[in-house]
Amino acid sequence: MTFFNFHLTLVSLLFIAVPARSQPDRLLKIATLAPEGSSWVKTVRSIDIAIRDATEGRVGFKIYPGGVQGDEKVVLRKIRIGQLHGGGFAGLGISQIFPDILALEMPFLFNSYAEVDYVLDQMDEFYQNGYQESGYEFLGWAEIGFVHILSKQPVKSVGDIRSLKVWQLADEPITEVLFRLAKVQSVPLSIPDVLLGLQTSLIDVVYASPSAAIVLQWFTRVKHVTDLPINYTLGALLIQKKAFNKIPSADQEHLRRIAKEHMAQLGNQIRKENQEAMKVLQTNGLSIVHSGPIEIDTFRKLVSSAQTELVGTAFSNDAHKQIQHHIAQFRKTPSPP
């Protein structure tokens, strides 16, 4: 997740293998940070059931939930040495595999979900190929959504953040540049450590989609949520190509088809959950902070100053140009009456 990326997610999935069935010939070991009961969990569990049925039990998942295999950096290392075969990753994990995902997560890039859907459709082949070349089979986006600032003190502008201790997703390049340019006091933490950081006042400000803030329980330790959507973030379900290639070709097609269908349904569900979650945050006592045009401009100027440094380093100039082209094309197209 990027400036205000998570999250999420991020944020990440709990998967549980179906205990009533015998072990399949190809058991794919999947790790994730996501807690039990999340929509990610339910979706991937349904993929597991469907792929076992479609392949007559030849292919299935073994799921390691809630970070029991470590954070995403540890999971990637275990995949490289063959202890795991894949994962449900948030922004940090998928960007370490293929950094050009970060080009989609720049702050203030998208104005609507309609723009997101158009750009992802146009860039589908680019990202499919990118993950393939990086050694992974891409099985679908796991949407996290538009990210908001959650804080102990109201945050309307960049100036408000400078007096507070802000969480930075460890090893995430976009926030590193943004916070440095903004002269923000940032505290790098992995996602599992954020709640404790809020509880101990190590940090005062976090960023997440509304539903992720609830799933991760971060909302219980803050008092305000800024209504300005900072950026859009994604996760993904990825399987190492070496493991995927051991599956018979017909079963590979079953897995691709089933995963695509279920992950698309998950995206629609997450959008509904984020909308409902913003109401839940208010019901639980969080006040909505409204940024006016002048305050919003402070964020936009910061992002503009960071863009020159990020394009071509954090992500490729090619990815940036293609995304900007597709957004411009979408905005030139007249809306249907």
At residue 169, φ and ψ (nearest 5 deg) are -60, 120
pLDDT of residue 178: 95
Instruction: Please give the structure tokens belonging to residue 190.
Output: 């992995």
pLDDT of residue 336: 57
pLDDT of residue 3: 42
Q: Which domain covers residue 299, as residue numbers?
A: 7-332
Instruction: Indicate whether 217 belongs to any domain.
Output: yes
Instruction: Indicate whether 185 belongs to any domain.
Output: yes
Spatial distance between the Cα atoms of 169 and 175, rounded to a whole number of angstroms: 8
pLDDT digit string (tens) for the chain, length 337 residues: 544 444 444 334 333 333 445 688 899 999 888 777 788 878 888 999 999 999 999 999 988 888 889 888 899 999 999 999 999 898 688 999 999 999 999 999 999 999 999 999 999 999 999 999 999 999 999 889 999 999 999 999 999 999 999 999 988 999 999 999 999 999 999 888 999 999 999 999 999 999 999 989 999 999 999 999 999 999 999 999 999 999 999 999 999 999 999 999 999 999 999 999 999 999 999 999 999 999 999 999 999 999 999 999 999 999 999 999 999 999 998 765 5
Instruction: Indicate whether 216 belongs to any domain.
Output: yes
Instruction: Indicate whether 2 belongs to any domain.
Output: no
Number of domains in the chain: 1
Instruction: Indicate whether 337 belongs to any domain.
Output: no
**Which pLDDT tens digit goes with each residue over 267-309?**
999 999 999 999 999 999 999 999 999 999 999 999 999 999 9
CATH of the domain at 76: 3.40.190.170
pLDDT of residue 328: 97
pLDDT of residue 22: 67
